[in-house]
Amino acid sequence: MTGSTPAGHESGALDGNALAGLFVDVFGLDLTAAAATCGTCTSTFRVAELAVFTRAPGPVVRCPRCDSPLMVFLERRGIACVDLSGLALLEPAGT
């Protein structure tokens, strides 16, 4: 044991920027600049600001305010899928 801890790797939480590559795989575009509205508390955040937890079978994006799951990524037979049922709205930037 050396006592050194890799920075930012203890809780498994990342920010939405970590999902840029996954968004391109699933949606064909980078949604990190999109506005996501929580279906539970109706708060709106930039996707890049959301907390991403990578411990589950796939990445889970949670609302920073109420902790509800907003996006759940899964991989089925090699195909990336996403459950967006926790979101009230997902608005791509620049439209």
Pick 17 or 68: Cβ nearer Zn ion? 68
Q: Is 31 in the site for Zn ion (CB under 5 A)?
A: no
User: How many whole angstroms separate alpha carbon 95 and alpha carbon 34?
Assistant: 10
Q: Is 38 in the site for Zn ion (CB under 5 A)?
A: yes
Stretch of 5-13, 49-57, 65-73, 84-92 contacting Zn ion, by CB under 5 A: 65-73
| Residue indicated by tokens 């907003």 | 70
**Residues 37, 89 contacting (CB under 8 angstroms):** yes
Q: Is 41 in the site for Zn ion (CB under 5 A)?
A: yes
Q: Is 40 in the site for Zn ion (CB under 5 A)?
A: yes
Beta bridge pairs of residue 37: 44, 89
Q: Is 63 in the site for Zn ion (CB under 5 A)?
A: yes
Stretch of 8-16, 24-32, 46-54, 66-74 contacting Zn ion, by CB under 5 A: 66-74
3-class SS of residue 61: strand
The set of residues, in sequence order, having a beta carbon less than 8 Å from that of 75 and lying 6+ positions away, is 57, 58, 81
Q: Is 55 in the site for Zn ion (CB under 5 A)?
A: no
- Among 65, 75, 89, 92, which residue interacts with Zn ion (rule: CB under 5 A)? 65
